[in-house]
Structure 1
Amino acid sequence: MFEVPYLASSVLATLRRNGGLWFQGLFVLAAVGGAAATIIALGRSRPTDPIPEGLMFLLIGNMVILVVLAGLIVSRYLSIRKQQAQGSGRLTRRFMLLFGTVALIPAVIVSLFLWLTIARGIDTWLGDTVLTLVDEIGTITAESGEQFAAQFEADAEAVADDVDASAGGFQANPEAFETIFSVLATYREFSAAYIIDRNGYPLAIAENMSSPNHYGRPAAEYFDAADRGETVAVLRPQAGYTFALQRLENYGASYLYLARPVDPELFARLDRARAAGTNYRLAQQRSNEIRTLFVVSYLQIVALVLLLSVRLAQEISERISRPIGRLASAALDVSEGRRGVSVPLPESDDEVRALSNSFNMMTRQLDERRDDLVSAREEAEERRRFLETLLVELSSGVIRIDSAGIVTIANRSAENLLDQGQLEGRLLPEVNPEIWSRVEEVHSRRSQDETFINMMTEDGLRHVRLKVTSDTVGGYVITLDDTTRLISAQRQMAWRDVARRIAHEIRNPLTPIQLSTERIRRRYGDKIDDEDGVFQRCINTILRQVSDIGRMVQEFSDFARMPKPTPIRFDLAALITDVVFAQRVVHPDYKFVLTMPEEGLEMLGDERLLGQALTNIVKNAAEALSRRPETDETQGQVSVTVEKSEADGLIQFAIEDNGPGFPEEARDQLLEPYVTAREGGTGLGLAIVNRVIMDHGGSVQLLEPSHGARGAIVKIVLPHSLASAADAEHQPLEYANEY
C-alpha cells in the first residue's frame, strides 16, 4: 500500500522535475478562462442578442491552452514509452483510463442536471407550440409548391406524349397538326405551346392570343437535361408564368416548350411565409448557440479535470511501471538473442528488486549456456562442411538412404554414375532396382556387403564395385566405385604381356622357317621335277603363311609395345581429310561423306597415333560394307562427322556406316583385346584405337543408329589438347614400352 503523504510529495516532486510548473500555470489559466466564458454565456438576457466578441476569443484561447496541456501529457506519455520497455505502457494506459473514468463520471452527472436546467429556461422563450406552427406553415408552403410542380410536370408529359403520337401529321398536314396542337395546349390550360429546335427556333406554335408573350429561349443546361430524358420545369413568378421543356422522341432534335400563367401575389405570400420561418429558426439557432457556448465552456472545465487526472495517472504509473518496463525490455533483448543483458536493481528492497536480481542471474546463466552451444554448433558446422566438400570431391559415388529407401544424401559422382540427375528425395527402388536388391540382402543379413555389378549407362557398360553398409539410425550408406578403367587397364596389361610373350615365342622360329623355305626353293627348285607345280605351290604356301603369321606377330608386338603419345600441334582437319581420301581411293564403290566445321581444327596430340586410330575406324567401317546381305541394293556409305564445342573444349567424331552393325551381345566387349566379330580378325584393332584415344584423354563408344536403322556408329570424344586432358575424367595410363 502507498502512503498518501509520501505519494503526494513524490508526485509533486516529479511534476516539478518534468515540467510540472508549466502544467500547473496553464491549468489555472484555463480554469479561470472556462469559468469566465460560462458566466458571459449565461449573462445574455435574450436569445437574439449578438454574441460578445470577446467570448469567442476567450473560448479559443482556452481551447489552445487545453491543446497545449494535452500535448504536454502526450509528450510525457511518449517519453515514458520510449524510456520503458515495449509493452510497459499498458500499465500507464490502465491508470490513465481509471483516473479519467473517476473524473469523468461525476462531470457527466452534473452536466445532465445543468443541461436540463438550461433547456427548460430556453424553452420558455421559444416553446414547442410556436415551433410546431412555424414548421407546419413551412410544410404546407413546401407541399403546395411541390404539388403545383408535380401537376405541371404531369400535364407537360401528357401533352408531350400526345404530340409524339401525332408526329405523322406534322409532315403530312401541318395546318391540321397546328389545330390539334392548339387544342392539346388549351385542354391542358397552357397559355402557349411551341415545338422548337436546339437553337430555340419555333417549328410549330400554339398561343392564346389573350395571354401575354410567355416564351423565352431556354438556357443550354435545360436542353442538356431534356436530352437526358428529364422534364425540365422552371418557375418565373416575376414574369407571371412557368414553363416546361421536354425532348420529343419522334421529331428528330426537337423539343416541346409549354408555358402556364401563375399568380405573382400567391408566390409572394409563399415567400413571406418562408422568410418568417427562416427568421424564427434564426432566433432558435441563436438559442442553440447559448447551449453550445455553455456546453463548450463546461466541457473545457471537464477537460481540465480529465487532463489533471490523466497527468496524475502518468506520474503514479511511471513510478510503478519503470522497473517492470526495464524487465520487459531486457526480456525482449534476450528473446532477440542479445548477450550481456541486465537490469539495474531498484533502491527499494521489495519484490521488484528480488525479481530483477533473479533476472540478472538467469541472463548470466543463459550467456554461459549459449557460449557452449555456439562452440558445439561451430564444430558441427565445420565437420558438416568438411564432409560436404569431401563428398563433392570424392570420385566414388556415395548414397545415403533412410529405412524407407528414400535418398537423403547423394554426391555428384553417384548422380553421374547412375545417370539419374538429382537423386535426393527419390526412392532408390525406382532409381536402380539392382542396388536396392543388394540393400535388402544386407538388411536381411544385418551385415555389410561388397560385390561387383555391371551397369548400362549412356557411356556404355560400366563395371561398378558396390558396397552397402547400415548406419546407426536405421538407414544405409551405399558406396559406388567405377572400376571400368581399372578392369580395362588390368586386362590391357594382361593381354599385352600375353601378346609380348606370343610375339617373342612365334618370332624366333619364323625367321629360320622362312630362310629355310627360301633356301630349299633355291637349291632344289631346278633339280626336282615339278611338272605339276606341287613343289612351288607348297613353297609359296609356306612363305605366304609365314608372312601372315609374321603380320599377326607384328600386330601383337605393336599392341605390346604401344608408345606413349608425343604431343605436337597439328591440323586435325587435314588429318581427317587424308584418312577419308585414302579409304575413298581403296573403296571407290562406296560413298564417303565428310562433315566438318568451317573454322580450323588445330589440336595438340600425337598425329601419327591419332591418324592410325582414325584410319582403323574408317577402314573397319568400309570393310563392314562388304558384309552386307546380297539383297541390300542400297549404296554402301560411310559418314564422318566432326563437331567442335568451345564451351567444354571437346572435339567429337561420329563414324557411321550402313553395314550389318555390331553384334548386340558382344558390342560392349569389342573394345577389349582379342575380342572380334569379324572372321579372321585378331581383335586388336579396336583395342589399339581405344588405347590411343584414352591416352589422349578421350573416350570411345560403340552405338547403333537411331530409329531402327541398320549400321554402326563409333563415337569418339577428344579434348582440344593433351594439356586439357590432364583434368579430364579419362586420364591416359602409362605403360612401359620395352619388353
Structure 2
Amino acid sequence: MFRTKSSRDRALKIAGLSLLFVILLFYGTRFISGISGKFYLSNPTFHILFSLNLLVLLVIFVFLIRNIFLFFIPHRSTRLRFKLVTAFSLLILGPSLFAVIISTSFVNKGLDRLFRLQMKRSVETSLLLARESLNLVADDIARFLKTFPSFKRVNPVEEGFEGICRIGKSVECKGNIEVEPLTVKKVLEVESIYSRFDVKKRELTVCVKRRGRIYCASRKIPSSFVKNFSQLEQLQKDYNMLKTYERPIKGIYTATFLIMAFLVLFGALWFARYFEKRINIPVESLYRATKKISRGNLDVKVEEEGTDELKNVIVAFNYMVEQLKALKEKLESEKNYVEKVINSISPAVITVSKDGEVISYNLAALSIVKNLEGRKQFMEVFSPYPEIKATVQELLLYGGGRREISEIVDGNERFLSVEVIPFPDGEGSVVIIEDFTEMVNAQKMSAWKEVAQRLAHEIKNPLTPISLSAERVRRLISKQDVPEELKRAVDKAVSLIVEEVEIIRRLVDEFRTFARLPLPEKKMEDLNRLIETYALAYGEKIKINFDFGDIPEIPVDKKLFREVFLNLMENSIDAGATAVSISTFYKDGRVYISFRDNGPGIPENLRDKIFSPHMSTKKSGWGLGLAIAKRIIEDHGGKIYLVDGNTFVIELPA
C-alpha cells in the first residue's frame, strides 16, 4: 500500500519536530546541569522534574511560534487582520508580561536577599557566639579540674557538676557521669583539654590531663541555650543546603514564569484570534461583497454572523444590496423602455458630450449616419456628410436651433431636418435628424396628381376637335383641284397632327390613370403563377429567366399588379436589355420579388429621383410609369426600391 505525498510530508514534519525537541531538551539539560553543577547530577528527581518543565516549555514555545506564523505571515497583506491580532495580543500580553517580569524580579531579589553575604555572616556569627559560650563553660570546668585539691574530698553536686571521674590505671567516678573510651583516647592523643557536648542529654563533658592522669567532669546546660544552639546549627545546615539550591531554585522559578509567560502569550494569541474571527471574517465578507458590487454584481448576500453590532451592519448591508438590486432592475427597465421608445421613433437621435464625443444613438440614426459604432467625435462621424456637419456645428455654436437641409446619403438626395437641443446642465446636447424625404416626395406626388388631373381635363377636350378638323381638311383637299404636291404636303401634315394628337391622348390617359388610380381590390393570388402568365406576352421580345421560391399566396389586385409588371418589363426592353431575371422568396412574413436586367442600368445621379413623376430616361414620355408602379405597391402595403442600377425589388406583406 503506497503512502500519499501528504502523509509523507506529515511524517517528515513530525520527525523533524521530534528531533528538534530532543536536541533542545538535550542542550537545555546540559545548560542547566552546567549552571547547577553537582546538585543537578546528584538529584535525579529534580533532573526529571526540570526536564518535564523544559519539555512543556518547548512544546508551548513551538506551538506559540506556529500560531504566530499562522496568524501573521499568511495575512501580512490583510492590514485589518494584522492590526486586530496585534492590538488584542498587546492589550492582553502587555499587562501579563509586566506582571511576570515584576514577579520574576521580586523572586530573584528575594532569593538574592536570602543568599546574600550578610545573611550568611549572621548565621555563622550567631552559631559562633553559641559555641564561644560553650567554650567559656568548658574553660571554667577545665580550670576547676586542674586546680581542685583532692579527688576524694570533692563533691560534684556542690561544685555544680553532674559527676567527676579520675582515670588512671583504673576509672573512678563520682556522681552521674559516663566517660567513653574514645574520649580518653582523644585526650591522650592531643595532650590537652578535650570537651564534648551532648545535645540530647544537655551535658557538656570536659577532660584534662593532670599529673599523668585524666580528670573529666560533666555539667548540665540550660535547656533554653540547648534549644537555641540546636536551632542555630539547624539554621546553618539549612542555609548551606539552600545555598547549593540557589541556582536550581532560580532556574525553576524562571522556567515557571517562562511557562506562564508563554501560556499567557499563547492564550493572548488565541483570544486575539477568536475576536479577530468574530470581527475580521464578517468585515472581510463585507469587503468581498463590496468589491463584487463595485464590479456591478448585485447578486451577493453576506452571511449574518459575528457580534451583534456587526450582525446588524450585515443585515443593513444585505437590505441595502436588495434595495440597490431592485433600483437597478427598475432603472434598467426604465432604460429599456426609454430605449424602445427612442428606437421606435423615426427621427435619428444622437447625444453628444460637451467635448464633442458621441455618447449614444438610436437605430434610426444608423439609417442616416453609418459610422456611429464606438465612441467617436461628432466631427469624425459627420465628416462624410458636409451639410449635416456644418449645420450641427453652427447650431452648437449658437446654443441650439433647427435647420432644414438636403444631403446626399448613400448616393440619394435626402431632405433632412437637423435640430440641436442643449442639456440644461451644459454637459452636452441632443442632435435630432429627421428625414422628411418621403413627405417631400408625397407633397410632390400630390402636386403632380393635381397637375395631371388638370392637364387631363384641359387637354383632352380639344384633342377630338383637333383630330376631326385635321381629317376634314385632308378630305376637303383631296376633293379640290389642287396640285398633287399640295395634297401630299397637306396629307403629311394631317397625318403628323393625328399622330401627335394620339400621343397626347395617351399621355392624357397616363395622367388620368396617375391622378385617379383606383384602390386595389385584393384577392389571394399565387404571384409565381401571375408573373409567369404576364411574362408570356414578352417571350419573343426578351429572354426571361425565372427563379421562383416557395412563397405563400398573398392578397393582391392582379390587374394593378399587371400594370406594375408590364411597366418594369417595358422599361427593360426600352433600355435595350436582352435578358431579365425574375426571382421570388419569402422571409420574415414578407414576399420579395426581384427584377434584374442586363441593360445599361439607371445612372447613379438619377437613382434617388427614379420614382418621381417627372423623371424619365426615355426621350418620349412623362416618366409616370414608375411613379404609378410605386403608388400601386404602396397601396398594397408594400415597398418598391432600386438596389443597384439594374435591379428593382418589390416587397409585399404576406
Which TM-score bucket, shorter chain as reference? 0.5 to 0.7
Distance, in Å, in 2 between the alignment partners of 1:559 and 1:499 is: 7
1:691 alignment counterpart:
631
**Which residue identity does 1:568 align to in structure 2?**
K
TM superposition shift of 1:413: 0.8
Deviations 1:172-228 (A, max 9, x none): xxxxxxxxxxxxxxxxxxxxxxxxxxxxxxxxxxxxxxxxxxxxxxxxxxxxxxxxx
Distance, in Å, in 2 between the alignment partners of 1:405 and 1:319 is: 61
Q: 8 Å contact 2:350–2:431 — kept in the other structure?
A: yes
1:409 alignment counterpart:
360
2:401 to 429, 448, 469: 448
2:370 to 409, 419, 423: 419
SS at 1:417 equivalent: coil
Distance, in Å, in 2 between the alignment partners of 1:513 and 1:507 is: 10
2:617 to 677, 683, 705: 677
Distance, in Å, in 2 between the alignment partners of 1:655 and 1:368 is: 66
TM superposition shift of 1:557: 0.7
**Which residue identity does 1:653 align to in structure 2?**
S
- Which deviates more, 684-693 or 328-337? 328-337
**Which residue identity does 1:502 align to in structure 2?**
L
CA change 1:699–1:100 in 2 (3 A) is farther
TM superposition shift of 1:91: 3.8
Q: 8 Å contact 1:96–1:310 — kept in the other structure?
A: no
1:614 to 554, 558, 565: 565
**Which residue identity does 2:340 align to in structure 1?**
T
Q: 8 Å contact 2:550–2:585 — kept in the other structure?
A: no
Q: 8 Å contact 1:91–1:321 — kept in the other structure?
A: no
TM superposition shift of 1:90: 3.7
Distance, in Å, in 1 between the alignment partners of 2:59 and 2:266 is: 17
Distance, in Å, in 1 between the alignment partners of 2:523 and 2:641 is: 22
TM superposition shift of 1:480: 1.1
Q: 8 Å contact 2:342–2:349 — kept in the other structure?
A: yes
1:722 and 2:642 correspond? no
**Which residue identity does 2:376 align to in structure 1?**
R
1:550 to 496, 502, 505: 505
CA change 1:344–1:450 in 2 (3 A) is same
1:398 to 349, 357, 365: 349
Q: How does 1:503-652 map to 2 (within 5 A)?
A: 503-514=456-467, 528=480, 532=484, 533=487, 540-585=495-540, 587=541, 592-597=542-547, 599-604=549-554, 605-625=556-576, 637-642=578-583, 644=585, 646=587, 649=590, 651-652=592-593
1:470 alignment counterpart:
422
**Which residue identity does 1:640 align to in structure 2?**
S
**Which residue identity does 1:676 align to in structure 2?**
S
- Which deviates more, 507-516 or 313-322? 313-322
CA change 1:385–1:593 in 2 (3 A) is same
TM superposition shift of 1:594: 3.6
Q: 8 Å contact 1:401–1:476 — kept in the other structure?
A: yes
1:655 to 591, 596, 599: 596
1:703 alignment counterpart:
644
SS at 2:619 equivalent: coil
Distance, in Å, in 1 between the alignment partners of 2:546 and 2:433 is: 39
Gaps of 5+ in 1: 1-33, 43-54, 79-84, 107-298, 346-355, 626-635, 705-712, 724-739
Distance, in Å, in 2 between the alignment partners of 1:327 and 1:695 is: 76
For CA contacts below 8 A with separation 6 or more, give which structure has more relative contact order. Answer: 1
Distance, in Å, in 2 between the alignment partners of 1:577 and 1:300 is: 119
1:89 alignment counterpart:
85
Distance, in Å, in 1 between the alignment partners of 2:326 and 2:585 is: 53
**Which residue identity does 1:615 align to in structure 2?**
L
TM-score by length of 1: 0.47
Distance, in Å, in 2 between the alignment partners of 1:394 and 1:502 is: 39
TM superposition shift of 1:699: 2.7
Distance, in Å, in 2 between the alignment partners of 1:573 and 1:367 is: 65
Distance, in Å, in 2 between the alignment partners of 1:380 and 1:641 is: 50
Point out the structure with max Rg over C-alpha.
Answer: 2
TM superposition shift of 1:506: 2.1
Q: 8 Å contact 1:503–1:553 — kept in the other structure?
A: yes
2:390 alignment counterpart:
437
TM superposition shift of 1:619: 1.4
TM superposition shift of 1:462: 2.5
Q: 8 Å contact 2:282–2:305 — kept in the other structure?
A: yes
Q: How does 1:331-342 map to 2 (within 5 A)?
A: 336=289
TM superposition shift of 1:461: 3.1
**Which residue identity does 2:352 align to in structure 1?**
I
CA change 1:647–1:379 in 2 (3 A) is closer
SS at 2:455 equivalent: helix
Work out the number of aligned pairs and report it: 441
Q: 8 Å contact 1:617–1:655 — kept in the other structure?
A: no
Distance, in Å, in 1 between the alignment partners of 2:357 and 2:501 is: 64
Q: 8 Å contact 2:416–2:434 — kept in the other structure?
A: yes
Distance, in Å, in 2 between the alignment partners of 1:372 and 1:600 is: 54
SS at 1:662 equivalent: coil
TM superposition shift of 1:701: 1.5
Distance, in Å, in 2 between the alignment partners of 1:483 and 1:529 is: 67
**Which residue identity does 2:650 align to in structure 1?**
L
TM superposition shift of 1:414: 0.4
Distance, in Å, in 1 between the alignment partners of 2:611 and 2:456 is: 21
CA change 1:563–1:361 in 2 (3 A) is same
Deviations 1:298-348 (A, max 9, x none): x99999976654443455678889888766667667655689999979xxx
Distance, in Å, in 1 between the alignment partners of 2:514 and 2:319 is: 72
TM superposition shift of 1:489: 1.1
TM superposition shift of 1:396: 1.0
SS at 1:614 equivalent: helix
Distance, in Å, in 1 between the alignment partners of 2:436 and 2:478 is: 63
Distance, in Å, in 1 between the alignment partners of 2:581 and 2:316 is: 77
Distance, in Å, in 1 between the alignment partners of 2:618 and 2:610 is: 11
**Which residue identity does 1:505 align to in structure 2?**
E
CA change 1:540–1:437 in 2 (3 A) is closer
**Which residue identity does 1:400 align to in structure 2?**
T
Distance, in Å, in 2 between the alignment partners of 1:618 and 1:544 is: 25
SS at 2:509 equivalent: helix
State the identity as a percent.
Answer: 23
Distance, in Å, in 2 between the alignment partners of 1:600 and 1:377 is: 47
Q: 8 Å contact 1:406–1:427 — kept in the other structure?
A: yes
1:709 alignment counterpart:
none
Q: 8 Å contact 1:573–1:600 — kept in the other structure?
A: no
TM superposition shift of 1:508: 3.0
TM superposition shift of 1:384: 4.0
TM-score by length of 2: 0.53
SS at 1:700 equivalent: strand
1:479 and 2:432 correspond? yes
